[in-house]
Each structure stands twice: as C-alpha cells, then as structure tokens.
Amino acid sequence: MTSNAITQHLGFAHLKDLPCYLLTCGQATAVISSYGAHLLSYKPQAEVETIYLSPDAAWKNNTPIRGGVPVCWPWFGPVAAEFNPAAQKLPNHGVVRTELWQVVKQSVTDTAVSIELRIESKTLPYSNAPSYVSLTLQLTEAALTLTLKSDQGLQQAALHSYFNVDSVHQVSVSSLSGDYLDKVKAGERFVQQQPELKFTAEVDRVYLDTADELTLRQEENAVLITQQGHDASVLWNPWTEKAAALKDLPDLGYLDFVCVETARLSLTNTAPLQLVQQIRYLG
C-alpha cells in the first residue's frame, strides 16, 4: 500500500499562515505554496534539503518570498518597455509572485505525485498578453520536476531556483560554455573560458543558449539540473554588500545558496511557453 500523498497545510517553517501543500513520494517530499505557486522545499531524502529558504523571508503585505523557487512571469528583472508602454511603476520579475494561485489538478499514484496550480492573467499594460500561466510540480522518488506553461503571447519567464549549499566557496556549476551577459559589469558580453563557474565574488550572469543539463557540485554531493524550453540560464549570488542590503536575507545568507535559474528571455518569441526544470539529487 502506497504512502504517497498530497496534504494541505497552513504555514511552513517560520512563514505562519502560508497556504501550502506537502507532497510525499516514498522518502521524497516537496512543499509548494499557492501564494506565488512557490516551491519552498525539496527533500529527496529525509535529512537532505536541496532548496534554500531565507530565515528572514516574509510573505504578507504583498511581499515576494526570498528563496525557494519564485516564478518570474511575464517578465524577468525590471520590466521592459515592450511590457509597459504606459511607463507605469511595476514590480521586478512580473506580477504572479504575490498572487494566490488556484489548484486545478492533483494526482497520486504508486510512482509519482503531482499538483498543478494556475492563475488567469490579469489585465496587463501590454498587448498580446497570454491568458493564463500554470505550474505543475511532479515528485518521484528520483527527481522533482517543475513545468511552467502559458499560451501564446509576449512573455518572459524564469524558474528562479535557490539551491541550498554548505558554503558558496565550495560550489561549482558546470558545464557552461559560450557567451554570457555580466550584469555586475553593466550587461557587458563575455565568453565563458572554463566549463565550470566557481563563486569568489558577486555573480549575476545571463548565460545564453545553455546546455540541457547543468551540474551544481559541492565537496560531498551534487545536483543535476535538467532544463527544457529555455534560451538562457541565470546564475546569481549577491555576495557580501548586496546581501547585507537585503532586508529579507541574513547578512551572511549569501554563503548558504546559489541561484541556477532556467529562463526564457527572448522578447521576440511569442510562442506558447513550456519551461521545464528538473532537480535530481546525485548524493
């Protein structure tokens, strides 16, 4: 008899009253909130947490949650003029991180547990808007898969994943190649010289046309990140000064995570969105 299940909870960690769903598949668990369709935790084994959630994160008063896997949609970073012809003051990373999504489907089988959340697009200040966005989380004993979908229209998207690490100084991400835009250096374009990136200072890079698989490696374990439907991967760590300036991150919180984000950033692609990120713990 399977112990696989989906159970509803109110609150997670220090985030009181946050509406959440706990998915269990064998030894693996995941927690997702309907607030922002925000993944908060993925444990492939009971004592192994792959996802970083800031202990100073908040969610009330229209506040995005720091950590986990925020859904950035329908734009990434500061809003581009294409989305904002009226030059309104709009939040970074889109408008769905602080909205309550509706659960539209749940499934529990002997081998997999999944949940789908969906939100209808509000009237946004740009034309040709997609009508909805949905996020499906599928959990098996081997992996967790996030699939972000929307219909046709002008849109950017990213699964802004914060990965839990023992120390940022011991982390590398591979295999990286080709060009990247370095936002620390005003968006200047560079060529990746080595197949792996190590973190020794602030990193805020948009890697273009990245591989379908990236590996985040530490001294004692690794995580395989598989991606589909993307045209870029974003790697980020704020380092010392910017971490200290973030009110929802401890001053030394930058030591405990790196972001490896699966993204679709082209402003000319109006095809339907299907952005997939799978996380597999390699031990």
Q: How confident is the model at residue 121 (pLDDT cuts 50, 70, 90)?
A: confident
- Kindly state the average pLDDT of the residues 35-45: 98
Residue 85: pLDDT band with limits 50, 70, 90: confident
pLDDT > 60? residue 43? yes
Residue 162 has pLDDT above 60, yes or no: yes
Do residues 275 and 228 lie in contact, with contact meaning Cβ atoms separated by under 8 Å?
A: yes
Helix (H) or strand (E) holding 267: none
Q: Supply the pLDDT for residue 127.
A: 65
Task: Please tell me whether residue 101 adopts helix, strand or coil conformation.
Answer: coil
Q: How many domains does the chain have?
A: 1
Mean pLDDT value across residues 93-121: 96
Alpha helices in the chain (DSSP H): 239-245
Mean per-residue pLDDT of the chain: 95
The pLDDT of residue 2 is above 90: no
52, two tokens: 């970083």
**Torsion angle of C-alpha atoms 119, 125, 127, 128, degrees rounded to 10:** -10
Tens of pLDDT, residues 175-189: 999 999 999 999 999
Tell whether the model's pLDDT for residue 255 goes beyond 60: yes
pLDDT tens-digit readout, 236-250:
999 999 999 999 999
Average of pLDDT values for 166-180?
Answer: 96
pLDDT band at 122 (very low <50, low <70, confident <90, very high): confident
Q: Taken in order 251, 254, 256, 262, is the CA torsion positive or negative? A: positive
**CA gap 141, 41 in Å, rounded:** 15
Residues 6+ apart with CB under 8 A from 142: 44, 280
- Structure tokens given for 207: 């890697």
CATH number for the domain spanning 155: value is 2.70.98.10
Mean pLDDT in residue range 33-56: 97
Q: Would the pLDDT of 19 be above 60?
A: yes
Tell me which residue range forms the domain holding 22: 5-281
Q: Between these two residues, 126 and 248, which has the higher pLDDT value? A: 248
Task: Tell me what percent of the residues of the chain surpass a pLDDT of 90.
Answer: 90
Which of helix, strand or coil describes residue 22? strand
Q: Please give the average per-residue pLDDT across 137-150, as a whole number.
A: 98
Longest Cα separation, the chain: 57
- The pLDDT assigned to 185 comes to 97
The CA distance from 272 to 139, in Å, is 24
